[in-house]
Amino acid sequence: MRTLQRHCAALVGLLALSGLAAPVTADVNDLIDRLNSHNSIKGSESTKGWRILFDAYLKLSTPPQEVGPFFNLETIWPGMAGWSEVSAWAESNPGLAEAIIEASQRTIVGLPYGMDNVPATYQQKNVFIEIWSKGKVRNNRFAYLDALQEILAYSTAETYRLFEAGKSAEALDLAIAQLWLLRKFCDRDFLEEKRTAMGLLIVSLQNMRDCFWSYADRISADQFTHIAQKEIPYLRTDRGRLAIPEADRIVAREIFNQVFDSTTGDADPDRFLEVFTEIQAEDEPLGRFGAGRRWVELAATHGGLPATQERLTNIFDDWWRRWRINEYSAMLGMETEYDKTNSTRYAAVLFIIDDIVDLFELRKLLLSETRGTVVAAALCSYRADRGRFPKKLVALYPNPLSKQQSVDVFNEELYPMQYKYVNSRTAIDIGVDRVWLEEGNCVVFSFGPDLEQSSEGGMLLHGLDEDIFYWPPAKAIVRGQLERK
């Protein structure tokens, strides 16, 4: 009866919590210190690029359009509406291009976690990472990601502007620096940071191939070879160098310390109600009261703190093992520890930790885009040197193309990417657009995850559920730049 009264009192107390943050009893500064001990943060300031990059960003003039769904590194190009204004904006901010190049040459980005660990000027421009914003656990604000998007919009515009102005060497330097900078952001330790940076790097690689196509006559064979051999391969987007994010585990452990009794190790129904209802209400405001009742009920049957921490460890250890093994291992097809987790006994674990299965697929896609860009650069080098594309891909081995870099990530037999020399007029469908390739062109593509060629009536198909095209660049095809060539 006493327990029931306690639960009812806790539920009634939820009325007083509406709109208020769940109190944080632990020292958040201690948590931030632990997060800042990660290899992507710690080190001497001379190894870090964040101050160089973001100091220059603070001086960036207002872009001609607000960076968002319709104005970003994926939509900016010389054929866009309003290009003259975009080009003028890029040209008027040379300091940021210099900063991107310099920051890309540092070992790490090094932007620290914690709002108080950056200057006040950064806070005013939303260049910070706030841990447990407004005292709410798990409410982490990666505000700097919006600034990064604006930086990349500028970099993309400036790269195209430089190419249009005939300054190909400077354009390539900036485009390559953008790749290296994003690769360093991929080493950040929160899932949201890593997922965002990997996606941005994929788009940047696609942009580089678009530049190969659009400005092939302004790039020498030696420049293409350098990119294919000395730049893109060393981004190392493979499983050996691209680490799994761990910061979410550190934050989760601290949250669990908040909601379990420190003496008995049992779930504290009051704290379950307070903390988890507040988190859930961020996404589902109208479900606050129903969620409160549910969390009180779950506290009564939830595993204790030691068991909960062990379950968390098992989930991350399982992910870590899968992250390190061969992409084609049978283990990847087995049920994960996350999927095995009892949704009642370990509800807090599943609620706090997001499944990262999508990150495995994103990593594979990033590696495929990396290798596709290497092959594209090698093809362009061959054509720049000999005036034509090779009849077969093997003609590129070993110079300018390493055979390893041509392996199709999606093929467990480790076969190279698909290559077709166009002997006669061939159609390619990109979504609703159809483009015809003339004789003398070539196509490099992967069958994708299903390992089956997508074609209809002899036409090649490109898309999320179709083949993945690396050359010609799908972006150029959609924009109608084939005619430009």
Tokens found for residue 333: 């097809």
Provide the pLDDT for residue 280. 73
The angle at the Cα of 359, spanning 328 to 54, to the nearest 5 degrees, equals 135
Q: Would the pLDDT of 241 be above 70?
A: yes
Cα end-to-end distance, the chain, whole Å? 81
Residues 112, 41 contacting (CB under 8 angstroms): yes
* Type of residue at 456: E
Mean pLDDT of the region 396-421? 94
Q: Which comes out higher in pLDDT, residue 1 or 169?
A: 169
Provide the pLDDT for residue 478. 77
Tokens found for residue 171: 């354009």
DSSP assignment string, 224-250: HHHIIIIIGGGG--STTTSPPP-HHHH
Nearest Cα residue to 109 out of 191, 202, 36: 36
Of all residues in the chain, the percent with pLDDT exceeding 90 is 73
Residue 154: CB partners within 8 Å, gap ≥ 6? 60, 63, 89, 90, 93, 96, 97
Classify burial at 115, counting beta carbons within 10 Å of its beta carbon; exposed 0-12, middle 13-18, buried 19 or more: middle
Q: Which comes out higher in pLDDT, residue 438 or 3?
A: 438
Q: 85-99, 283-297, 374-388, 469-483 — which is least confidently predicted?
A: 283-297
Residues 417, 429 contacting (CB under 8 angstroms): no
* Type of residue at 89: W
Q: Tell me the range of 5-9, 168-172, 431-435, 438-442 where mean pLDDT is highest.
A: 168-172
Q: 21-25, 101-105, 218-222 — which is least confidently predicted?
A: 21-25
Q: What is the pTM of this model?
A: 0.91
Provide the pLDDT for residue 255. 92
The angle at the Cα of 374, spanning 368 to 378, to the nearest 5 degrees, equals 140
Give Cα separations from 58 to 51, 72, 128, 193, 355 (angstroms).
Answer: 10, 18, 13, 21, 35
Mean pLDDT of the region 40-68? 97
Q: Would the pLDDT of 287 be above 60?
A: no
Q: Would the pLDDT of 5 be above 50?
A: no
Q: State how far Cα 422 lies from the chain centre.
A: 34
Mean pLDDT of the region 321-329? 85
Per-residue pLDDT band for 435 (boundaries 50, 70, 90) equals confident
Nearest Cα residue to 185 out of 40, 42, 58, 47: 40
Nearest Cα residue to 176 out of 129, 137, 253, 228: 228
List, for residues 179-188, the tens digit of each pLDDT value: 999 999 999 9
Provide the pLDDT for residue 8. 42
Query: With the CA atoms of 228, 232, 236 and 242 taken in that order, what torsion angle do they form, in degrees rounded to the nearest 10?
Result: -150
Mean pLDDT of the region 314-335? 89
Mean pLDDT of the region 303-327? 95
Residues 467, 448 contacting (CB under 8 angstroms): yes
Provide the pLDDT for residue 14. 38
Q: Would the pLDDT of 71 be above 70?
A: yes
List, for residues 361-402, the tens digit of each pLDDT value: 999 999 999 999 999 999 999 999 999 999 999 999 999 999
Provide the pLDDT for residue 437. 87
List, for residues 130-171, the tens digit of each pLDDT value: 998 655 666 789 999 999 999 999 999 999 999 999 999 999
Average pLDDT value over all residues in the chain = 88
Question: In 10 A of CB 307, how many CB atoms?
Answer: 14
Distance between CA 28 and CA 423 in Å, rounded?
Answer: 65
Question: In 10 A of CB 104, how many CB atoms?
Answer: 22
Mean pLDDT of the region 65-92? 97
Nearest Cα residue to 385 out of 202, 223, 250: 223
